[in-house]
Amino acid sequence: MSELKEGDVAPKFTAKDQNGKTVSLEDFTGKDVILYFYPKDDTPGCTAEACNFRDNYQSLQQQGFTVIGVSTDDEHSHQKFANKYQLPFTLISDTDKNIVEAYGVWIEKNMYGKKYMGTARKTFIIDKNGIIKKIIDKVDTAASSQQVLDLLAK
């Protein structure tokens, strides 16, 4: 599969959120979507990123954005994570890895010389028509929402 680029149609998906509700990308047609991929619930970097989106959620909403987080954790893990940090947005459970593979973020990682497969931290900004407007490869976990806004202001 070729790597996604700005201007590509965002791959469609349907999966369960943290409440067991089925969610599809099509549900958000007509809205700008911040689709962010993160490795694991309740880890330091992922928590910083999620809390940054939470803290700026209202201003993002006022600018017409919907925020969706995706990881390969299950619904129960997502629910605990969302409740612990009062996350007001959708977290999608991708346990079968269909979404991370479709977006090209299921990659080989290397920690302490040990290679393993995991989710790359990456953010896709998808416009109202389902087109990828921007891709953020180097996510600043502590300022992820500002990074999105700064990119769109350019």
Catalytic residue IDs: 46
Q: No. of H helices and E strands in the chain? A: 5, 9
Torsion from C-alpha of 87, 90, 96, 102, nearest 10 degrees = -120
Phi, psi of 5 (to 5 degrees): -130, 165
Residue located via tokens 């999608």: 92
Alpha-carbon dihedral angle through residues 112, 116, 121, 123, given to the nearest 10 degrees: 160
